Structure 1
């Protein structure tokens, strides 16, 4: 550990000691019971606090760009160009607010590592277990989707040179080997640079190729009609499915707890969030607008196939590392959830012990195998992923962050250093009445009123997307069965 960290740690400990000199014995007892920073061990052999603010920005960008971005242009055709952009911007604002809340919550409660810990803060231990399990399933499913999309790239490049499940297995093995080898996000962040660059360049190549073509590659012979829709001509079911897709493209807010937990300077998280999120939102809007304006109804989904076979191969070749990084990164975060959950509070969390490695390797193995099995077993995986995105994604991008805003309005916690006041304030309030107490925040001025209104807007829109999106996706799954589009389990068919 370098000298600056030692000095900072010494100063922090000195400050706490000075504060405790002014406390009563009861206050000292309360202070000693306050949860400490999860990765604050002085003697830890593994450094989990190595992510710079630039690394955090690129991690945020990589979590946010990937599978959803490749399907985003087609949502403009369903929602209409202007409503599609407006809807995307609104969702981007909400997910940015959610990311801000999730990433900065640890400045008040430094023991938190995941949104499951936030569930405990809000709703008790039962909330932690329920939300934590849902969170892990969501992460593992997105990791599986990354493996599946990687197999699409392999199929496109090789012209279906092997069984699709073989390609999925290759992506699964690579996720396990690379994800296990790098235990901290600080070591894996450099992969995110490669991942973001690969996907962004691939999408831009496709967009430029679409602009250069006289007619869409997927258009039939003869006169064509792009059917550019300024305003929607969609049913409620189609619109909700498109909104769910847009939210899935911006739905990584819940993972920002883990990013903040491994930052060298978590107080710089907001800077990272603004840089990473702004880049992704601007890039998505620019590319999706260009492609939709040029290709119209002949957009492919994923979008990399919109400019013909040759450009498709080139784009997938460039995007392949980025798609593989998606599978690696989401597998890593999913496994890290159980790793921390099991070893929290023990010396094994940051020590190279047998238990440390056993839990870490086991967590990664279970995660990648789970993702592989889901990809193979579910015969309607794309619709199933949409179902998960509609049913689970809003919980982490809208509902829980909205409740966290209400919690902060009701509790009004000070910085983590002012430990006695926080303990006394939390003991004076029950686990549930903070929702009602949050309404009293209007007394604190117009800023608090805006936060209150914004929180309830996020919560209500989250529940609306859950109900509407789940209903729409369920009907889509039924339609897939009716028209015979559903394939068998562990299918070898070409998915490119």
Structure 2
């Protein structure tokens, strides 16, 4: 890609490189006629996918974070995290306008630090997707246990959802075909959480409160908690809006990726507003008598109704995350080969195998980690910051250093090594302070995003592990692969 910097291209020893013809990196998917087309998502479809990837499991645990952090600090913390992930989503979704070879966040890591980083971040990304898919299976088992009055073994319910996620996720190979599921999923989740919110508003006293006498909701304007509990709550909040790492994959299958920002504004704004309103209503009316997940906060009848409405949305969450994870493996294996977009035996073998591996991994993770809030906190603390803070923040610095232009043909092959040299572009990024206050603000913002992510990784993971240990010691956690009722 042509850069604004016109200085000679130097290698690590300072000598000028031999000039070779620039061969631009190719888009991972062909826009020309192919047996299998992966480029067909409209900007509206992208908006609903963004909404569905962001809203789902996180909103169900958000009210409890207000109780732990205090309402006002909790609300402020959520808004800050939502704005940061919105910036990260903008960086991730629009990256292909500068570097069309990017398909996922692993490719972005390769651009920053080389092939080793691609494999490391790629594994983190894949495990994150499989974990969220597993969490959706776990939540769906709660719904099925609630609706059936524990009519079947919980592990059996999880296995059933695992099979559904595998079959549906495998049946649709492109996000264009899957995007319609997003409408179903978003509608189901929104209607269910509003059902609970309205029920909480009209009830005289929380269902879990004592049946007689005064009720102390223990509404906390300010925090009254321990450090591990606070960091666990912050990790939960990040999980609620932490899907921005998937936006590479959404943008990669858009018909007009230049419209991604429009999709992001529509989806992210809707998510933030909805989450704040729902969490505020439920916490304000239920207080310390919150259920986990929050759909159980308004009594058994409303719980069954809300889970019945939410069930399609919970299944769609498992399907979408399984699909994106399977697509990562699929593209990683077949990228650059004719089999990627051809109906060959190898194509179908890799695709089905990738989906089967993902669904199975999600099932195993759910069986081994049978708890909800701490499970989301662990994912939010250990993996989310890498995908929503660290890599996007470093990409911002990379843009400051390289100053790429949109719609160009990409970085020439003979300069990829130099572009990936972290020592060079990091120093050039820091030198950007000399360009004026606007660039300085961008650098400071990137540094804040990276630092916040690093703090959450260290402190949030420690806090979540402590909370899990406490839960096990208190006997609040069931055994692995249990048949016990989790509703």
Q: Could you say which TM-score interval applies, normalised by the shorter chain?
A: over 0.9
TM-score (norm 1): 0.92
RMSD of aligned Cα (Å): 1.6
Gapped regions of structure 1 (runs ≥ 5):
1-25
Could you tell me how far 1:463 is from its partner in structure 2?
Answer: 0.6
Could you tell me how far 1:460 is from its partner in structure 2?
Answer: 0.5
Within 5 Å, which residues of 2 pair with 1:47-196? 47-196=37-186
Retained in 2: the 8 A contact 1:411–1:426? no
Q: 2:423 aligns with which of 422, 427, 432?
A: 432
SS across alignment from 1:47: coil
Deviation string 1:285-330 (CA, Å, 9 cap, x unpaired) is: 0111111111111111111001000000000000000000000000
Q: Distance in 2 between matches of 1:103 and 1:120?
A: 17
Retained in 1: the 8 A contact 2:419–2:425? no
State yes or no: 1:344 paired with 2:344.
no
Retained in 2: the 8 A contact 1:203–1:315? yes
State yes or no: 1:480 paired with 2:466.
no
Q: Distance in 2 between matches of 1:267 and 1:365?
A: 33
State yes or no: 1:220 paired with 2:210.
yes
Retained in 2: the 8 A contact 1:66–1:326? yes
Aligned pair in 2 of structure 1 residues 392, 429: CA closer, same or farther (>3 Å)?
closer
Aligned pair in 2 of structure 1 residues 382, 30: CA closer, same or farther (>3 Å)?
farther
Deviation string 1:178-228 (CA, Å, 9 cap, x unpaired) is: 100000000000000000010011000000001010111111122211111
SS across alignment from 1:264: coil
Retained in 1: the 8 A contact 2:292–2:373? no
Q: Distance in 1 between matches of 2:73 and 2:351?
A: 45
State yes or no: 1:200 paired with 2:190.
yes
**Which residue of the partner structure matches residue 365 of structure 2?**
374
Q: Distance in 1 between matches of 2:262 and 2:289?
A: 39
**Which residue of the partner structure matches residue 321 of structure 2?**
330
**Which residue of the partner structure matches residue 10 of structure 2?**
none
Aligned pair in 2 of structure 1 residues 296, 385: CA closer, same or farther (>3 Å)?
closer
What count of residue pairs does the alignment treat as equivalent?
469
Q: Distance in 1 between matches of 2:352 and 2:338?
A: 17
SS across alignment from 1:325: helix
Q: Distance in 2 between matches of 1:78 and 1:381?
A: 16
Q: Distance in 1 between matches of 2:32 and 2:218?
A: 62
Could you tell me how far 1:425 is from its partner in structure 2?
Answer: 8.9
Retained in 1: the 8 A contact 2:70–2:221? yes
Q: Distance in 2 between matches of 1:452 and 1:439?
A: 7
Q: Distance in 2 between matches of 1:321 and 1:389?
A: 24
Retained in 2: the 8 A contact 1:413–1:422? no
Retained in 2: the 8 A contact 1:31–1:419? no
**Which residue of the partner structure matches residue 299 of structure 1?**
290
Gapped regions of structure 2 (runs ≥ 5):
1-17
Q: 1:36 aligns with which of 21, 26, 29?
A: 26
**Which residue of the partner structure matches residue 14 of structure 2?**
none
Could you tell me how far 1:385 is from its partner in structure 2?
Answer: 4.0
Could you tell me how far 1:443 is from its partner in structure 2?
Answer: 2.5
406-415 or 372-381: which moved more?
372-381
Q: Distance in 1 between matches of 2:140 and 2:460?
A: 26
292-301 or 313-322: which moved more?
292-301
TM-score (norm 2): 0.93
Could you tell me how far 1:381 is from its partner in structure 2?
Answer: 6.4
